[in-house]
Amino acid sequence: MKLKKYLLGLAITVLLILTGCSTQLSSDDESSNDAQAADADTLIIARLSDAENLDHQFMSTINAASVTHGKVYEGLVGRDKNAEFVPLLAENWEQISDTVWEFSLREDVTFHDGEPFTSEAVKKTFERLLDPNVGSPRAGALSMVQEIKVVDNHTVQFILSESYAPLLSILASHESGIISPKAIERFGKELINEPVGTGPFRFEHWKPGQEIVLVRNEEYWGSASELAKVVFKVVPEETTRVSMIETGEAHVTEPLSVTMMETVENSSSSDLYRSESYGTEYLGFNVSKPPFDNVLLRKAVGHAIELNSIRKGVFNNVGGVANSLLGSKVFGYDETMQPYSYNLDEAKRLMAEAGYKDGLTIKLTTMDSKERINLAEVIQSQLKGIGITVEIEVLEYGTFVDTTNSGNTEMYILSWRNATGDADYNQYNLLHSSTHGAGGNRFFYANPQVDEWIEQARQEMDSDKRVELYSKAQHKQMEDALYIPVRVIENVAAVHKNVEGFDIAPAGYIDLSTTRINN
């Protein structure tokens, strides 16, 4: 009798395990189907690197901003597929004078934490950005904002200390996403881990070094996403990322190196995605310390690097010819700019004049991507021809960002994707003396005349005059040999054939507004 009871109990135990520890079989089947449906609408993006943080007022990379911008956070204005400004959280706006802009806000918007979207939320967001006690490295982008004035519950004015031509371009970029005022008070500096906005996706969780998960905002004021969930998975090894599409473990892998493009093009599971970017890739110098505080040495390096062979050999001609730090589609681009010509005799002459006739050893720092490492190795080989021994330092992405921000570099490989399409974003962030380090100026360059031109261009409302000022600034920067432009960047990704509507904006932000999965 005891044996029968034991066997009966064992059978029930096994049955419970097999049915998910529940006797509600029909309910369990229904839950399983719901889970499968949710998985079917989950977009998995396999990425090279994790975000350095999730607070867009502290982000220094488009890589991080792509996670939250247009998904968790939204700005007052946005950009359409043609890069034209369009209403977003503001229904319309008017420039009342050179220094006063007025925005009429939508009245049907709620933050993810249930707080209503009002003028007060706009005020608190930008006051936080500009508060010196908060210390946002992005504050310089809106340093001319003197006051955010609440006119009424859904009308707000930006009062500027001086005219600022590219205001809309900044309001459309990730720095200007509106944060829940309740979240600002509740989380403070911990907003780095708890983003709360108005966007089509809510933040679910972040496991640093592993994944970031967003879920659809069912109360979204606009058109709901067809995706139930988005998972950004960190997968450093590119062959693994690409194979994840083949095995169905991921839908998108980005960025995609040129060495893997042919593999993707020949795949039966994935398509190759390419689009032109605002940004450029470049070799930069830390001009604030030896040896590259010597402009003659910087010019010598500029003449010793053969860019055409690099674009062909390293990048397989993916990406356009760059003549500065501005892509050809960016406002302020100057087609007359000329980088240093390849001339080994001139390079050797400059080396001797700089005091390095017998050569020297320098450190070249790069992040751990195949393309960048390949580029570093080609530069290493080319500079050997003028007596420069290059020691390559390869760092994990987050460490690389910290290292370049801190100025612990001599020469480095970096890119700047320009989030706004306006030269101001490039010139002010990368080259103004107030933005050293995390603000973007990893050259640690300081030139009062260049600062003045950049500041004048920000205030000038005449477009032609702005272009002239940016031209002067860029020619002086090239004369000072701060960088060597390598190429205009292309956005390249592998996308599963059952995914439609995936896009990467020229600024480099991943755009999921029209993305869907066909199962």
- The DSSP secondary structure of 390-414, one letter per residue, reads EEEEEE-HHHHHHHHHHT--SEEEE
**Cα pseudo-dihedral 9, 10, 11, 17, rounded to 10:** 110
Q: What is the pTM of this model?
A: 0.79
Q: How buried is residue 27: exposed, middle or buried, by Cβ count under 10 Å (0-12/13-18/19+)? A: exposed
Q: Identify residue 92 by its one-letter amino acid code.
A: N
What gap in Å lies between CA 277 and CA 488, rounded to an integer? 7
| CB distance 433 to 446 below 8 Å | yes
Q: What pLDDT score was predicted for residue 8?
A: 38
What gap in Å lies between CA 488 and CA 491, rounded to an integer? 10
Is domain 276-490 annotated with CATH 3.10.105.10? yes
Per-residue pLDDT of the chain (519 residues; tens, 9 = 90+): 433 333 334 333 333 333 333 322 233 333 333 333 347 799 999 999 999 899 999 987 889 999 999 999 999 999 988 888 999 999 999 999 999 999 999 999 999 999 999 999 999 999 999 999 999 988 888 989 999 999 999 999 999 999 999 999 999 999 999 999 999 999 988 888 899 999 999 999 999 999 999 999 999 999 999 999 999 999 999 999 999 999 999 999 999 988 899 999 999 999 999 998 998 999 999 999 999 999 999 999 999 999 999 999 999 999 999 999 999 889 999 999 999 999 999 999 999 999 999 999 999 999 998 889 999 999 999 999 999 999 999 999 889 999 999 999 999 999 988 888 999 989 998 999 999 998 899 999 999 999 999 999 999 999 999 999 999 999 999 999 999 999 999 999 999 999 999 999 998 999 999 999 998
Q: Beta strands 100-105 and 90-97: pairing type?
A: antiparallel
Measured CA distances, 370 to 252, 373, 495 (Å): 18, 5, 20
**Cα-flanking dihedrals φ and ψ of residue 25, to 5°?**
-65, -45
Which CATH number fits the domain 196-275+493-517, given the four candidates 3.20.20.70, 2.60.40.10, 1.20.1250.20, 3.40.190.10? 3.40.190.10
The residues, ordered by sequence, that sit 6+ positions from 224 with a Cβ below 8 Å of its Cβ are 200, 216, 217, 218
Q: What pLDDT score was predicted for residue 82?
A: 82
Q: What pLDDT score was predicted for residue 475?
A: 98
SS3 60: coil
What gap in Å lies between CA 470 and CA 467, rounded to an integer? 5
**Cα-flanking dihedrals φ and ψ of residue 110, to 5°?**
-130, 140
| CB distance 169 to 421 below 8 Å | yes
Domain definitions of the chain by residue range: 2-40, 62-191, 196-275+493-517, 276-490
Q: What pLDDT score was predicted for residue 419?
A: 82
Give how far the C-alpha of residue 456 lies from the chain's centroid of Cα atoms, to the nearest Å. Answer: 27
The residues, ordered by sequence, that sit 6+ positions from 92 with a Cβ below 8 Å of its Cβ are 103, 104
**Cα-flanking dihedrals φ and ψ of residue 393, to 5°?**
-110, 115
Handedness of CA 281, 285, 287, 288 (dihedral sign): positive
The residues, ordered by sequence, that sit 6+ positions from 8 with a Cβ below 8 Å of its Cβ are none
**Cα-flanking dihedrals φ and ψ of residue 3, to 5°?**
-65, -40
What DSSP element (H or E) covers 114?
none
| CB distance 310 to 413 below 8 Å | no
Query: Could you tell me the two tokens for 188?
Result: 């403070």
What DSSP element (H or E) covers 455?
helix 448-459
Q: What pLDDT score was predicted for residue 463?
A: 93
Q: Identify residue 515 by its one-letter amino acid code.
A: T
DSSP for 20-31, written as a single string: TS-S-HHHHHHH
Query: Could you tell me the two tokens for 254?
Result: 């980005």
- 314 backbone φψ class: left, alpha, beta (φ>0; ψ -120 to 50): alpha
Q: What pLDDT score was predicted for residue 519?
A: 82
The residues, ordered by sequence, that sit 6+ positions from 75 with a Cβ below 8 Å of its Cβ are 88, 89, 171, 172, 173, 176, 177, 178
| Beta-bridge partner residues of 428 | none
Handedness of CA 501, 502, 508, 510 (dihedral sign): positive
Fold of 62-191: Dipeptide-binding Protein; domain 1 (3.90.76)
| CB distance 276 to 333 below 8 Å | no
> Minimal CA–CA distance to 90: which of 73, 79, 78?
78
What gap in Å lies between CA 288 and CA 269, rounded to an integer? 49
